[in-house]
Amino acid sequence: MTEPELPKEAMEDPFRPPEEPCMVRCLHCGQEYLSSQIVWRDGFWSCPVEGCGGAGYQFDIHPLDSSLWGGEEEDDEDFGEDYNEDEPFFGAPPSNN
């Protein structure tokens, strides 16, 4: 293992990736990758994707289980109250003619 030495500021950066790698997604490029792939570049923990300006774990780069992505499996209590189930949808005409 040849782990590159990281500067002290990298280790103390509040946006450094977690020690335990997890799947993350970048807000800028939408790519998903392991948090261990986030690179320390120009004084920021940056998205490893070429040409992407995303930077910072929990800033531009969020774990896939973050509520930020509106997780499909989570039932968020803030949603659903205004949802009107009686509202008819387009494209569903009665077929008993």
Binding residues for Zn ion (CB under 5 A): 26, 28-29, 47, 49, 52, 54
Cβ proximity to Zn ion: between 28 and 85 the closer is 28
Q: How far is the CB of 72 from Zn ion (least distance, A)?
A: 22
Q: How far is the CB of 71 from Zn ion (least distance, A)?
A: 20
Helix ranges, 18-88 (H): none
Q: How far is the CB of 91 from Zn ion (least distance, A)?
A: 37
Dihedral over Cα of 22, 28, 68, 59: its sign: positive
Q: Say if CB 17 and CB 45 are below 8 A apart.
A: yes
